[in-house]
Amino acid sequence: MAIIEVDAVRKTYAGRPVVDGVSFSVDEGEIFGILGPNGAGKTTTVECVEGLRIPDAGTVKVAGLDPVADHDRVTQLLGAQLQESELQAKLTVREALELYSAFYPAPADWRPLAARLGLEEKLTTRFAKLSGGQKQRLFIALALIGDPKVVVLDELTTGLDPRARRDTWKLIEEIRDGGVTVLLVTHFMEEAQRLCDRIAVIDRGKVVALDTPAGLIRRATGSTVISFVPSRALTGPDLTRLTALPGVASVTPPDSEGTLTLHGTDDSVTPFVALLAELGVTARRLRITGTSLDEAFLDLTEQDA
């Protein structure tokens, strides 16, 4: 069942459409990703969901309610972590948790929440003295403090180091396992691939693809990448035969270390091995990998260019 429905939403700033007919729906219990390059309209889209912006056209429903007209009820159902927002510099973690608890009619107990987010040691620390990761964890706690059914996390891991980022990913999975639907805005492909059940790729205000991470990767051309260093220099006719292998989309000439790269499909692998045997070439440092969501994403957003 859909808990968030976004239908043909448009938002224009100074005559420039920032969100241009975006539609998607988020099912209860899933982690739904909104992925796109900077300035694609991701944040504006979720701000319409949070009721912080009024769409010029189209409708948004959260659990059947209008986020602007029913702001009170929607904010009780939906917790938000906003991009680039802060708290009062001298407010301590404990005071922030207590203050935000007071905003909701039936808040979650902030103590276990603080423990779960590793903020117990920091309760008496002022907001300005927290590290980037600690601030983000506090904002996750504040997003969850109203015991919401949905949380919106906007660029949560931007600016975190790789370890803190991975810890945050684990947290997001735990939130979903606790029965909360997550709407995740990100520009990290790895993050979307790891966490999301489904992803809407937004580019220049439009949804250019909406699928599971695996589905998005399959759509991309050249989804299997074969790289190797041939034991002898390959001749022109050899390269032509490589290019002609089933499913091969492109062959990149050797780089400075002599590594050749083929973009193909699963079907390219066996004929490739057979061809090497026939040519009497040994493949050193042979790697066969699936393409990353990164490349699928570039592929998807480039089609539009």
Partner 1 sequence: MQTGTTTAPATAPGPSAARRRGPAAAVLIAEARLFLREPGSLFWVFAFPSVLLVILGFVPAFKEAQDDLGGRRVIDLYVPISILLAMITAGVQAMPPVLTAYRERGILRRMSATPVRPSALLAAQILLHGAACLGSALLVTVVGRTAYGVPLPGQPAGYLLALLLSAAAALCLGATICALSRTAKAATAVGSVAYLVMMFTAGVWLPVQAMPDILRRVVEITPFGAASQALEQAASGSWPGWIHLGVLALWTAVTGVAASRMFRWQ
Kindly list the residues in this chain that would bind partner 1 in the complex (CB under 8 A).
Answer: 50-52, 71-72, 75-76, 80, 82, 84-88, 90-91, 95, 98-100, 102-105, 142, 146
Query: Helices 269-279 and 236-243: crossing angle, nearest 10°?
Result: 160
Q: CB of 50: closest distance to partner 1 in angstroms? A: 5
Q: Looking at beta carbons only, is 86 or 109 nearer to partner 1?
A: 86
Q: Cβ of residue 2: shortest distance to partner 1, in angstroms?
A: 21
Nearest approach in angstroms of CB 64 to partner 1 is 18
**Exposed e or buried b per residue across 225-264, where buried means at least 16 C-beta atoms within 10 angstroms of its C-beta:** bbbbebeeebeeebeeebeebebbeebeeeeeeebbbbbb
Q: In terms of CB distance, is 30 or 98 closer to partner 1?
A: 98
Query: Minimum CB separation from partner 1 for residue 183, in Å?
Result: 13
Rank residues 145 and 293 by Cβ distance to partner 1 and give the closer one: 145
Residue 114 or residue 234: which is nearer to partner 1 going by CB? 114
H helices of the chain, in order, are 42-50, 71-77, 93-101, 110-116, 132-144, 162-177, 189-195, 213-219, 236-243, 269-279, 293-303
Residue linked to tokens 């003295």: 129
CB of 212 to partner 1, least distance (A): 29
Token code pair at residue 123: 């309760």
193, 214 in Cβ contact below 8 A?
no
Nearer to partner 1, 36 or 67 (CB): 67
